[in-house]
Chain A
Amino acid sequence: MSAYHQSSSTASEVRLRAEVARAADILFPVWPIGTFIAVNPLGNLAQMPFGEAIAEAEHALGATCYPGPELFRRARAEGRIEDGDLRAAVERARSEGRLGGAAKSAGDPLAPPEAGAPELQAPSPRELLDRRDGGRRAAAVDAEIAKWCAAYLDEGESSWSMPGRELGFYRCWRELAVADASSRRLGAGDLRAAAQRLPDSPAEALGVALAELGVDDSARIAALRRLLARNHGWASAVRWQVERRHRPEHPIDLVDYLAVMSFYENALAVAAEERADPSLARPTPYDGEEDTRRVRLELWLDAYEWHYRDRLLADMARNDANGRTDERPRAQAIFCIDARSEGLRRHLESTGNYETLGFAGFFGLAIRHRPLGTAPGSGTAQCPVLLSPAAESTERPLVGSEAPAERWIAQLRSEAAGIEAFHQVKNDLSSKFALAEFCGWAFGPAAALRTLMPGLSPSARRPNLRTAPLVDRPTQMEAEAMAAELEREIVRELIRIHLGAGRAVPEHEIEQLRKHAMGGAEPPTRPRRSSRRRWTELLAALGQAGLDTRFHEDRVEEFGALGLSRAEQSQWARVALTMMGLTERFGRLVLLCGHGAGNVNNPFRSSLDCGACGGNHGGPNARLAAALLNSEPVREDLAATGIEIPTDTRFVAGLHDTTTDRVEMFDPEQVPVTHRGDLLELERDLARAGEGLSAERLVRLGAAPHGAARPASRKRSLDWAQIRPEWGLARNAAFIVGPREMTADLDLECRSFLHSYRAEVDPEGRALETILTAPLVVAEWINLQYYFSTVDPERFGAGDKTIHNVVGRRGVQLGAGGDLRIGLPRQAVFVGERPYHEAMRLLAVVQAPLGQISEIVSRNAVLREMLGGGWAAMCARERTGEPWQRLRRDLGWEPWRPADPGLLETQTATDGGAQWVATA
């Protein structure tokens, strides 16, 4: 049993826990940086309308939550906001009752908003003291909290970990704080004795501290919010630990965290005799009063958004003349809904008779994937964070690849051991400075090559192993055999350790040793060439390795959960094909294309990978999906439901590298001879499409090449000094659900998530409900992550990449310490001082029956709040050619009317303004 226990059970302590939970609504979990997940940082306020949530966040966090007046003035000057847009925004707000009493005091809506800081909630005692005497106590306490959090939440970065973490954060900290003389620098005297007097229960300690600070009951939530707002990033990391890490090895919750913070807060107040300071005692909670500044900003934001949206909808309306042909396409290519896929789809379609589709990049397969050579229980969750992996996938070497696969696995082990040793030396204080002396000669040439000629530097790659995803769930006997093989492998490893790598032990003796370890057999006779001592050590190690019946049963259960049953396979295939509307007219070749971003020396690399795959590459999902759709039994089951996949249709898997615009095909050698020609054509056209897209993207990056674009992109991807390998999802603005004819031939500038859908194959709207409650939600999170990282890069963004330090594999700090930074780095959304990303809320555009959409929205709170609360907007129509309808905040429909009626008559640039190009 863990040494950690929660002992609080008094009514006042449980009440305090509930108040902490409410105060923590201003935080949203921040994922470890290795699997960066784009989130709405105000996601826990999403039950409020957007404007109210913003008011709350401004008040509690001191954050800026709207684009600034300067941006709006510039947009007006550049024609990005026109008078008509503003008048239309006022009309929308008035008709939906959003102006209220503030309409009059807001004055002329055509006048630009005034600059002004939001009103911040009353400061905490240390902030007050700092204001009074110009001290730096607030920053000093923040640094102290950051120090303890970085040590406690370390995920394996440091080789010297904080002792006592199993006790839980508060108790672990208390054990060390009683001996930590460095707290003197806070200016509150020696705090060791005070730490000694702290109670065992963190809830009790927090309650006592709040009482000593004079916080009355009615003000506790506001006071707790103020404390959480300091070191907002670390508190958000704690929030992740609480919500997302089940049975953590090192437990922590926000009561622990606040108990520690309030200890320092109280100590400073006591030292300064500010015990009963009225401000923290009665901080002003946000009273919901209408604020004319916010009303004006909201109107201008609305105008800014609809200026873009009007042009998008008008372009799509004019595009209705594009009909679908009945001709069988040369091939179909299914990409992730990610906005970056739109560019590759557009360019691929321009090369020939290709049909492209969009689907969530995890292809509906919520799997935990373990690549060849990785340990059971490891692996990555290849699905959106809204889901838990429902199955485990792995790969197996094909006949003829067993030997190279074994060599690869051995290499992986050797490299892992080397990397661990390197990091141990690197992190060891005594050897840190000597490391460069000893190892610099080895790393120097490679480092120089990578710096000077990034395009030429070698990249370590897995050898060309022929493997296949494990598709079918193993039978009980197969799972038993796999578990036994794993156990034999452990025995072999122990033999290597104890008898030496060169010692060959016959397989039957390895099996005998395994059975001995399991407790059911005598060990084999000691080999003559092995010393008695080493043999005894081996047998002892076997006894301590935990190879018992329980271990065996657990492994059998794990292996028995690999892959999918036939029923699951067929169910998945039917749902996936129906969701994307691909139930007929299959081409000879169908590409399932995941995506990932190949770039180096970038802590935020996973932010450029596939969000639908949990911040990972989508390749494993694409491979598994292709294998399932090539399966004869699955096709038989699909045919029984009316989905006939022709016998000459072959599914293949690929991976779109969004940094280099290359598409790598998986397992091309497994494509039948009859389809090799089709594959070669597709690969040729994907290369042409990639070249076109690279040229387009490099212009946006301010790096238009003189020659071929793809080599320039590749060079950029390998440049370890590159702070902006690609633009990621910057400027994302719309989520379009419907057939590709709606958008084919339009240049959407990689700004739209595209989800394929055909209402006619989904009469009950089940697929639509899945699209709106999951992919749309993920897209909205991404959109709001970019929004908030742009409107307040200090509070909601990660700051300047050039001074980032990765801490504890959790995230980054600026420089040597301080708060954990949340959100996207400045270089992901800004060019110099000017935002590259256009901070706009997402517009969902759906082609489906309006009644069905309304029903889906009304029975799903997540959609009611998103669309009724103004976190995103929606326009829809039932059929091609019909006029768009706008979903009002009261969830009723009204005809969409562009602010400029002339838009429907003439072609315009989609963004209505100059192409924004990076110049810095």
Chain B
Amino acid sequence: MGRDGLTQMTKVEVVVRGSDAVRVRELLTGSGARGYTSISNVSGLGHHGYHQGRLLFNEEAALDLLIAVVPDERADALIEGLRVLFEDRPGVMFVSETFVSRPEYFG
């Protein structure tokens, strides 16, 4: 399937502690992102060892995955903000180009 008619944008995915997710969400909205997707209780192996997924009685100790799509011209500001945030706490981000069919939803 071709990409004709789609608009190129930047996708930023962030894996961060549940307790730090609010700071990332603040940066996303503060940088002008119109929305984001949040997936709680993700698990996996990372630099700080294995991370347990869903805990029965604690929603804050697990990791969250946040995904935002922003116009390219807003991406650098957001990426810079996330880099500053992650200077002193665990968290990773993945930046990639993506294509959307309804750019007005993201810009």
* Contact bitstring B25-63, A, C-beta under 8 A = 1, else 0: 011011110000000000000001111100111111100
Q: Does B87 reach chain A (CB closer than 8 Å)?
A: yes
Number of interface residues of B (CB under 8 A): 36
With A9-B77, A770-B57, A777-B58 in contact, is A858–B82 under 8 Å at CB?
no
Q: Determine if A18 and B77 form an interchain contact, defined as CB atoms under 8 angstroms apart.
A: no
Q: Does A451 reach chain B (CB closer than 8 Å)?
A: no
Q: Does B85 reach chain A (CB closer than 8 Å)?
A: yes
* Contact bitstring A1-34, B, C-beta under 8 A = 1, else 0: 0000010111101110111011001000000000
Q: Determine if B58 and A862 form an interchain contact, defined as CB atoms under 8 angstroms apart.
A: yes
Q: Determine if A859 and B51 form an interchain contact, defined as CB atoms under 8 angstroms apart.
A: yes
Chain A residues 276 to 311 lying within 8 A of chain B, measured CB to CB, are none
Q: Determine if B50 and A859 form an interchain contact, defined as CB atoms under 8 angstroms apart.
A: yes
Residues of A within 8 A of B11 (CB): none
Q: Determine if A777 and B61 form an interchain contact, defined as CB atoms under 8 angstroms apart.
A: yes
With A22-B88, A773-B57, A773-B58 in contact, is A242–B27 under 8 Å at CB?
no
Q: Does A575 reach chain B (CB closer than 8 Å)?
A: yes
Q: Does A41 reach chain B (CB closer than 8 Å)?
A: no
Interface centre among A10, A18, A203, A242 (most CB of B within 10 A): A18
Q: Determine if A242 and B59 form an interchain contact, defined as CB atoms under 8 angstroms apart.
A: no
The CA of A25 and the CA of B58, in the complex, are separated in Å by 21
Q: Determine if A21 and B57 form an interchain contact, defined as CB atoms under 8 angstroms apart.
A: no
Q: Determine if A774 and B55 form an interchain contact, defined as CB atoms under 8 angstroms apart.
A: yes
Minimum Cβ distance to chain B for residue A340 (Å): 21
Q: Determine if B56 and A203 form an interchain contact, defined as CB atoms under 8 angstroms apart.
A: no
The CA of A916 and the CA of B102, in the complex, are separated in Å by 69
Q: Which of B30, B48, B56 contacts A6 (CB 8 A)?
A: B30
User: Secondary structure of the A side of the interface?
Assistant: helix
Q: Determine if B55 and A14 form an interchain contact, defined as CB atoms under 8 angstroms apart.
A: no
Q: Determine if B61 and A862 form an interchain contact, defined as CB atoms under 8 angstroms apart.
A: yes
Q: Does A402 reach chain B (CB closer than 8 Å)?
A: no
Q: Does B80 reach chain A (CB closer than 8 Å)?
A: yes
Chain A residues 835 to 878 lying within 8 A of chain B, measured CB to CB, are 858-862, 864
The CA of A387 and the CA of B17, in the complex, are separated in Å by 15
The CA of A384 and the CA of B56, in the complex, are separated in Å by 12
The CA of A17 and the CA of B27, in the complex, are separated in Å by 7
Residues of B within 8 A of A858 (CB): 49-50
Chain B residues 50 to 97 lying within 8 A of chain A, measured CB to CB, are 50-52, 55-61, 74, 76-78, 80-85, 87-90
Q: Does A799 reach chain B (CB closer than 8 Å)?
A: no
Q: Determine if A387 and B26 form an interchain contact, defined as CB atoms under 8 angstroms apart.
A: no
Minimum Cβ distance to chain A for residue B16 (Å): 11
Residues of A within 8 A of B74 (CB): 9
Q: Determine if A859 and B49 form an interchain contact, defined as CB atoms under 8 angstroms apart.
A: yes
Q: Does A364 reach chain B (CB closer than 8 Å)?
A: yes
Q: Which of A21, A575, A769 contacts B26 (CB 8 A)?
A: A21
Q: Determine if B30 and A203 form an interchain contact, defined as CB atoms under 8 angstroms apart.
A: yes
The CA of A15 and the CA of B27, in the complex, are separated in Å by 9
Which bracket fits the contact residues of A?
Answer: 35 or more
Q: Which of A11, A22, A775 contacts B77 (CB 8 A)?
A: A11
* Contact bitstring A383-410, B, C-beta under 8 A = 1, else 0: 0101110000000000000000000000
With A203-B30, A243-B22 in contact, is A775–B80 under 8 Å at CB?
no
Q: Determine if B56 and A14 form an interchain contact, defined as CB atoms under 8 angstroms apart.
A: no
Q: Determine if A19 and B84 form an interchain contact, defined as CB atoms under 8 angstroms apart.
A: yes
Q: Determine if A14 and B81 form an interchain contact, defined as CB atoms under 8 angstroms apart.
A: yes
Residues of B within 8 A of A388 (CB): 59
Residues of B within 8 A of A11 (CB): 76-77, 80-81
Q: Determine if B50 and A387 form an interchain contact, defined as CB atoms under 8 angstroms apart.
A: no
Q: Determine if B61 and A773 form an interchain contact, defined as CB atoms under 8 angstroms apart.
A: yes
Q: Determine if B30 and A17 form an interchain contact, defined as CB atoms under 8 angstroms apart.
A: yes
- Residue of chain A at shortest CB distance from B52: A859
Q: Does A457 reach chain B (CB closer than 8 Å)?
A: no
The CA of A864 and the CA of B46, in the complex, are separated in Å by 15
Interface centre among B56, B76, B82, B88 (most CB of A within 10 A): B56
Q: Does A626 reach chain B (CB closer than 8 Å)?
A: no
Q: Determine if A9 and B57 form an interchain contact, defined as CB atoms under 8 angstroms apart.
A: no
With A14-B77, A14-B78, A861-B61 in contact, is A773–B30 under 8 Å at CB?
no
With A13-B30, A21-B85 in contact, is A242–B22 under 8 Å at CB?
yes
With A6-B29, A6-B30, A14-B30 in contact, is A384–B87 under 8 Å at CB?
no
Residues of B within 8 A of A15 (CB): 77, 80-81, 84
Q: Determine if A14 and B27 form an interchain contact, defined as CB atoms under 8 angstroms apart.
A: yes
The CA of A839 and the CA of B81, in the complex, are separated in Å by 39
Q: Which of B27, B57, B84 contacts A384 (CB 8 A)?
A: B57
Minimum Cβ distance to chain B for residue A367 (Å): 13
- Residue of chain B at shortest CB distance from A858: B49
The CA of A19 and the CA of B82, in the complex, are separated in Å by 10
The CA of A93 and the CA of B73, in the complex, are separated in Å by 52
Residues of B within 8 A of A384 (CB): 57
The CA of A387 and the CA of B58, in the complex, are separated in Å by 6
Interface centre among A8, A366, A386, A766 (most CB of B within 10 A): A386
Q: Determine if B30 and A386 form an interchain contact, defined as CB atoms under 8 angstroms apart.
A: no
Q: Determine if B77 and A10 form an interchain contact, defined as CB atoms under 8 angstroms apart.
A: yes
Interface centre among A770, A860, A864 (most CB of B within 10 A): A860
Chain A residues 92 to 150 lying within 8 A of chain B, measured CB to CB, are none
Q: List 16 A-B contacts (CB under 8 A).
A: A6-B30, A8-B31, A9-B30, A11-B81, A13-B77, A17-B30, A18-B23, A21-B26, A242-B26, A386-B57, A769-B55, A773-B57, A774-B55, A860-B52, A860-B61, A861-B48
Which 5 A-B pairs have CB atoms at the shortest separation, nearest pair first?
A774-B57, A18-B84, A14-B81, A9-B32, A11-B77
Point out residues on A near B: beta carbons under 8 Å. Answer: 6, 8-11, 13-15, 17-19, 21-22, 25, 44, 47, 203, 242-243, 253, 255, 360, 364, 366, 384, 386-388, 575, 766, 769-770, 773-775, 777, 858-862, 864
